[in-house]
């Protein structure tokens, strides 16, 4: 079973993300209903390990916070982009939640993808797309922004590959603590 941890997005944000699709030949667009903010990619694990991971994630105590989704970019080099994404403004809150999730997962013997963390929403895979069209997309959507999103939970997802695309299923959702009022 392939697992990852992410922030699930409300339908109105998924619709805004879905509206970005198009304009790049040979791009493999992610279905709007699969849009999420990746916090940690775990990869293939056996079912018993999924239970251990779930229990470890359930012990995380962390306050809810807000995120801002803004801008677009690529992973890979500018001349050879691989992944097109919508950005999440970096904040101490999301970075610390990511660190707590990684620590929890590693505490049960599982591993997390060790690439530098950058909160994002994957839009498309663009390895074979013309560079000029990707660059135009980045320019055309540089000012993309959604309304501020309150983050009150995070979710352990499984990913099942089908012939057409990946199917994501929410396995377990973990509530964050209500913010302390003054």
List 120, 127, 141, 160, catalytic entry: 120
Q: What is the separation of C-alpha 84 from the centre of its chain, rounded to a whole number of angstroms?
A: 12
| Cα(138)–Cα(125) distance, integer angstroms | 14
| Both structure tokens of 85 | 């994404």
Q: Is 141 a catalytic residue?
A: no
What backbone torsions phi and psi does residue 88 show, to the nearest 5 degrees?
-120, 125
| Cα(84)–Cα(87) distance, integer angstroms | 10
Given phi > 0 = left and psi -120 to 50 = alpha, else beta, which region is 142?
A: alpha
**Angle, helix 47-58 to helix 92-107, in steps of 10 degrees:** 130
Q: How many CA within 13 A on the CB side of residue 119? A: 22
Tell me how crowded residue 69 is: count the other CB atoms within 10 A of its CB.
Answer: 23
Q: Catalytic residue numbers? A: 36, 120
């Amino acid at each position: 079973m392939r697992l990852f941890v992410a922030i699930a997005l409300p339908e109105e944000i998924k619709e805004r993300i879905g509206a970005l699709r198009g304009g790049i030949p040979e791009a493999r667009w992610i279905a709007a209903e699969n849009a999420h903010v990746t916090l940690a990619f775990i990869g293939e694990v056996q079912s018993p390990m999924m239970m251990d991971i779930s229990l470890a994630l359930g012990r995380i105590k962390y306050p809810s916070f807000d995120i801002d989704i803004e801008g677009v970019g690529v992973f890979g080099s500018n001349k050879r982009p691989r992944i097109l994404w919508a950005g999440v403004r970096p904040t101490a809150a999301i970075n610390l939640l990511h660190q707590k999730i990684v620590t929890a997962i590693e505490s049960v013997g599982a591993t997390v993808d060790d690439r530098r963390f950058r909160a994002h929403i994957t839009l498309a895979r663009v390895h074979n797309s013309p560079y000029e069209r990707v660059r135009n997309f980045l320019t055309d959507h540089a000012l993309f922004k959604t309304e501020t999103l309150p983050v009150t939970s995070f979710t352990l997802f499984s990913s099942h590959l089908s012939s057409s695309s990946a199917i994501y299923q929410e396995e377990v959702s973990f509530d964050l603590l209500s913010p302390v009022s003054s």
